[in-house]
């Protein structure tokens, strides 16, 4: 990613919530340094209690540092005279949209933020319409929030932030209460906002969401322990496991495919022998290396155990993961690979047997 101006700069940030009487004060954040650039998409991950939400609330002065500094577009969040200017720059979308919706009519709710910023009425009307269209909720503008699903409510909350024209939007586990379809819809909106130039900060427990960011920051016990691109972070599988974090399934599949890639392509050379054995009987048995024969046996066993249609489903799934794992390279080869897979599976015989000596019989 091209280097851009720093938008949020965090230096030695420490934050401690008020301790109950007789209890020792503990830091929810303990010396965090972080830079977020204009137009950057940053995902922040970590276990419960790692300080993710506390960090996000410090980004638009909903919380102020106990120690250290937070700057938003050069403005110190501890400067009382800059609070409203900072909140014009950084908007928040929270986990529970019901805590963010304040009106009984959707379009009035979206207008609430701009009204409090002193935006003229005609401009508010235009912003509200544009924001609702951006999240595909314009047709619901006259309805009440209580009639909406969780995902639709979250869209309205996002529209309220869009209408404020903030340069950065912080999503504090905004997909945590949604079903898979709702999460997918919200992530689609987030990616669209990012493509339009918004800086995005995504607090999430879902590593599949974090994988879509430009940069991932990993927190543990109030400290930043890892920072880098998704590829850099997910290479450290052992470290993530120590932090009780997982890597996305697509990344696991990509790693497995990389490990077995050479064997897979060796198998492709062996596939015609399996499909058309009568054409290859004139060749000596040792023409192909042992590993080719072994891999072909494994394939035949898979067909025998899983049945052909299930193997086809598996193949379609694996090839569906490839575009996500290798988008730059997969776009050209995937159509041909899929056609090859479909044709190969359709030509397999309906019954196969592997005998105890691992001799393939078709």
pLDDT tens for residues 17-53? 987 777 778 899 999 999 999 999 999 999 999 999 9
| Residue finishing a domain among 199, 221, 243 | 243
Over the stretch 59-97, which tens digit does the pLDDT of each residue have? 999 999 999 999 999 999 999 999 989 999 999 999 998
Same domain, 255 and 299: yes
Degrees, nearest 5: CA angle 98-56-169:
70
What is the reported pTM? 0.69
Instruction: Identify whether residues 148 and 168 lie together within a single domain.
Output: yes
Range of the domain at 58: 6-243
DSSP letter at 218 equals E
In the predicted structure, residue 14 carries a pLDDT above the cut 90: yes
Domain with 229 in it: what CATH number?
A: 3.40.50.300
Q: What is the pLDDT of residue 340?
A: 52
d(CA 246, CA 206): 9
CB of 164 within 8 A of CB of 83?
Answer: no
Tokens coding 228: 């880098």
According to DSSP, residue 4 is labeled -
The length of the chain is: 362
Residue 203 has pLDDT above 70, yes or no: yes
Beta strands at 199-203 and 168-172: parallel, antiparallel or unpaired: parallel
pLDDT for 259: 55
210 plus 263 within the same structural domain: no
Percentage of the chain beyond pLDDT 90 is 53
State pLDDT tens for residues 133-151. Answer: 999 999 999 999 999 998 9
Q: Which of 190, 219, 243 is the last residue of a domain?
A: 243
Q: Residues near 109 by Cβ (< 8 Å), separated by ≥ 6? A: 101, 102, 103, 145, 156, 160
Nearest to 10 by CA among 49, 36, 28: 36
Domain boundary, last residue among 202, 220, 243:
243
To 10 degrees, what angle do helices 327-346 and 308-325 make?
170
User: Total structural domains in the chain?
Assistant: 2
124 shares its domain with 211: yes
């Amino acid at each position: 990613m091209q280097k851009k101006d720093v938008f949020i700069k965090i230096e030695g940030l420490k934050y401690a919530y008020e301790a109950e009487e007789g209890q020792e004060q503990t830091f929810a954040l303990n010396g965090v340094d972080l830079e977020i650039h204009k137009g950057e998409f940053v995902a922040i991950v970590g276990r419960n209690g790692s300080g993710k939400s506390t960090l996000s609330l410090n980004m638009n002065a909903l919380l102020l540092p106990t120690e250290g500094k937070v700057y938003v577009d050069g403005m110190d969040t501890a400067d009382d005279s800059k609070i409203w200017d900072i909140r014009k720059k950084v908007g928040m979308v929270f986990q529970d949209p019901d805590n963010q919706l304040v009106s009984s009519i959707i379009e009035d709710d979206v207008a609430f933020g701009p009204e409090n910023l002193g935006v003229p009425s005609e401009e508010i009307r235009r912003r509200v319409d544009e924001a609702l269209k951006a999240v595909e909720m314009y047709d619901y503008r006259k309805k009440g929030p209580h009639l909406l699903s969780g995902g639709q409510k979250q869209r309205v909350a996002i529209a309220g932030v869009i209408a404020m024209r903030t340069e950065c939007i912080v999503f504090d586990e905004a997909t945590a209460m949604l079903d898979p379809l709702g999460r997918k819809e919200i992530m689609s909106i987030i990616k669209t906002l990012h493509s339009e130039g918004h800086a995005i900060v995504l607090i999430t427990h879902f590593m599949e969401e974090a994988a879509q960011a430009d940069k991932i920051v990993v927190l543990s016990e109030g400290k930043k322990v890892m920072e880098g691109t998704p590829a850099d972070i997910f290479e450290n599988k052992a470290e993530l496991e120590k932090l009780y974090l997982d890597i996305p399934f697509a990344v696991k599949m990509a790693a497995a495919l990389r490990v077995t890639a050479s064997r897979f392509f060796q198998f492709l050379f062996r596939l015609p022998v399996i499909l058309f054995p009568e054409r290859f009987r004139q060749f000596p048995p040792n023409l192909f290396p042992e590993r080719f024969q072994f891999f072909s046996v494994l394939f035949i066993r898979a067909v025998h155990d899983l049945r052909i249609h299930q193997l086809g489903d598996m193949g379609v799934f694996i090839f569906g993961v490839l575009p996500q794992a290798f988008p730059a390279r997969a776009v050209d080869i995937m159509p041909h690979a899929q056609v090859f897979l479909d044709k190969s599976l359709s030509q397999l015989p309906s019954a196969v047997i592997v005998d105890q000596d691992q001799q393939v019989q078709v």
